[in-house]
Structure 1
Amino acid sequence: MAATGQEEDDIDHYEVLCLPSGEEGAALTIEQIEKSYRTQSRLRHPDKRPDDPNATADFQRLSSSYKLLRDESLRRQFDARLRARREAASRAAAAGVKRRKAVSDLEERERAAATGQPTDPGEVARREAKRKAADIQRELDEFRAAKQAAASGAASTSGHGDKKGGAPQDGVKTDKGKILKVSWDGSADSYTAAKLEELFQKFGKVEDIVIKTSKSRSRGSAIVVMGTKEAALLAIQNHFFLFPLTVAPVQESGGLPARSTQTHESRTSNVDGTGFSDLEASVFRKLQEAQKRKQSG
């Protein structure tokens, strides 16, 4: 008897009558159920299926399902059982998905433990951001060390005079014929040392470039030291190729700005050595980008 009851519980009476089941079946009217029963009884009557040994049992099941669905009380009970059956199946499916995911995660962790590599996407991203930040910091430290060494060398040269025997003075002694004063409309940021070097290399070797920091936003200036007096003279004679830059020789009172009397911090804030400006900007930009990625992660 128990087996028969269990078998009855598994029957979907809507499906027996070839009707939609679930919520759609619960919304069917008695007229729709009767119409489907009449159609199915004509098609599945045992007299129409003399060679089918299951025809009688099938027709009896059709009649039984029709009687149950016509009874409003029995139909409500069946709809409730059907709904509970669907919910149980849904929970079982969800539990199966969770079990499969748990097994997959466990296997992934075991593989990670064997290889020593993290598998959590967040942890992987954090390690990558930390690695990039360390690389950028190392690059920045190397840059600062190189710049400090270059500044220390310039200060030493200033303290002992030039190679021609000049006495120590406030400025760096050099051949004034090689020094050019360059100015332009706009702020000091309008031209970098690298850009000026690129322009003046057309006339000969460039030994040094010093961009002066000015509070004025309407005009910028720099000192360009050419490799020879001939190169400096060539740049003056062909200054129209450098428009809108203005190029002029340094006056007797001119010279390179004093470096020996300045601290390292003041030199880095007021002197833009050739090649340093663009590298410094690049390094700091990378550092800022890495910091932003770390914060967003």
Structure 2
Amino acid sequence: MTAIRPRRSVLYMPGSNARALEKAREIAADALILDLEDAVAPDSKDMAREQVCAAVKAGGYGRRELVIRVNGVETPWFEADLAAATEAKPDAILIPKVSAPETLIEIGHKLTGLWADPAVRIWAMIETPLAILDAARIAAAAKDPSTRLACFVMGTNDLAKETRARFVPGRAPMLPWLVTAILAARAHGIDIVDGVYNDLKNEDGFAAECEQGRDLGFDGKTLIHPAQVAAANAAFAPDDHELARAKAIITAFEQPENADKGAIQLDGRMVERLHAEMARRVVALSEAIAA
């Protein structure tokens, strides 16, 4: 099984806020998106770029995954952002408003020209109607190693803006788009994290949306405030019952009498070998979180 990296909680941090970048070293998020785009005013772009890249180079973030979100490819800041981020060597660079695979191919060529560290991955924001309509082809770009594509990030606020869909409990207007993106990501072997929840005061609503995202198949959720980290971490981690069940399934199939069986009965329920594969992932995720 491919090594799993937990992405339960992916917290946006404004790149122009030096105090926030420092505080992020102590926040229990699995990943941090150090933002040069939406969270930064136009007259602060250069300062934020220098600040974020200096923070990444300085380190001190432990095992948190560090991601730099650059400005979009059509903006005047993109080229400088990409060059600086490449030099800083984060775990990944997040590209906004990816609406076609050609964007990722072009960025792959640019990274090659910049002699980017092979370990640096690309994450893609899925936040336009065209991105949803072309999600499968965008995800398929991961088959080309030069694109470095490793993860989709849902941009639900931008999707709402572009489609005029309303934010309602249960997200019924967005469910077809979310599922489309999940299917595309899974079909091509990349991770995918859910969009943000805007109402910081509605803890119950946030918890419910985390549970919905987990049940839909997301790996985690993007967050806008450190107060959301604990709930996201809890929702997207296997609980004690799920972990115990997974270990029981694995143990059952490891018994000599079940070595050649495709399906067995366990505690009165039919269990197939595909459930053993799912169980191994649950255990691996739990171990990765513990680490």
Structure-1-length-normalised TM-score: 0.20
Between structures 1 and 2, the one with greater helix share: 1
Larger-gyration structure (1/2): 1
Structure-2-length-normalised TM-score: 0.21
Between structures 1 and 2, the one with greater strand share: 2
